[in-house]
Amino acid sequence: MKTIILTGATGFLGSYLAKSFVSDGYKVIILKRRRSNLQRLTEIENKVVFYNLEELELSNPFREHGPISVVVHAATCYGRSGETAREIFDANTSFPLKLLEESLRHKVDTFINIDTILDPLLNAYALSKTNFTEWGKLLSESKEIRFMNIKLEHMYGPGDDAKKFTTWIVQRCLNNTPEIDLTLGEQQRDFIFISDVGDAMILLLKHTSKFSLGFHNVDLGSGISISLRDFVEKVHQLTSSKSKLNFGAYEYRKYEIMKSCSNIEQLKALGWKCHIDLNKGLQQMIEFENNSVSSANK
């Protein structure tokens, strides 16, 4: 049985990965904050090992559960809850750098980092993620570890955080918010459903040996991009919303990426493909949100 250390397991993506890893027979060691909400992990809570970072000597899980085959770093701080630049840096650069150094020290075979496609100058989150990726490039030059940098596109799905754009627009359209202010929406984005992300990650774990030691960028998206305006109008139509969409109410952010679309040939060569198209994925999100409202009203 291979052992995986996973960060970010209480979040949307991390919890999905944790359950997928357990289901696929991996031993999963989760590094979390003491006050993290374990609600997303209820069904596997007794099947994984938890460490609280505030009480942890970072080398302990490596020594106590080694050898560790893979470290998957899915934790992130977006800065959406008022975190300072230093707090964002600590979460997205300093902490994973320490984790990478421990991985090298304990001869871990593969370090998988969930990265962003955003311009590093867009905000502190994007800059701090890029900072760590550059450290990954530098430290993996020794060829003593395989650093797989996952360039994740715009992931979405039922149960994602309400502050994420996809969930935010679905909820507002369902609630018939009188007016929804937006940019012109010309930005092209590649939307990928959560289960397709999970399938890709499991496949990569099974085929790490096909990647040499050192640094590798791996694009992860659907391979199809649409404009945000088309995306919003699709949500508006599927929800039969009465909301007024005010395109052009906001200016574009400085350093906004205007077109993003992943090259998925690398993943397709391993046998992966998307199973959930945008219509099907949005319908699942809308059904989930409707059920959540119904349950709350009981």
pLDDT value of position 189:
97
pLDDT value of position 66:
84
Distance CA 227, CA 238 (A): 17
Q: What angle do CA 47, 53, 56 make, to 5 degrees?
A: 95
The pLDDT tens digits of the residues spanning 83-95 come to 999 999 999 999 9
What is the secondary structure of 178-209 as a DSSP string? Answer: SEEEE-----EEEEEEHHHHHHHHHHHHHTGG
Is residue 9 a contact partner of residue 17, using CB atoms and an 8 Å limit? Answer: yes
207: nearest Cα among 271, 289, 141: 271
Strand-pair partners of 219:
151
175: nearest Cα among 260, 292, 96: 292
> Could you tell me the pLDDT band of residue 292, with boundaries at 50, 70 and 90?
confident
Distance CA 2, CA 195 (A): 22
Distance CA 264, CA 242 (A): 37
The pLDDT tens digits of the residues spanning 114-151 come to 999 999 999 999 999 999 999 999 999 999 999 999 99
The residues near 53 (Cβ < 8 Å, ≥ 6 apart) are: 31, 32, 33, 34, 95
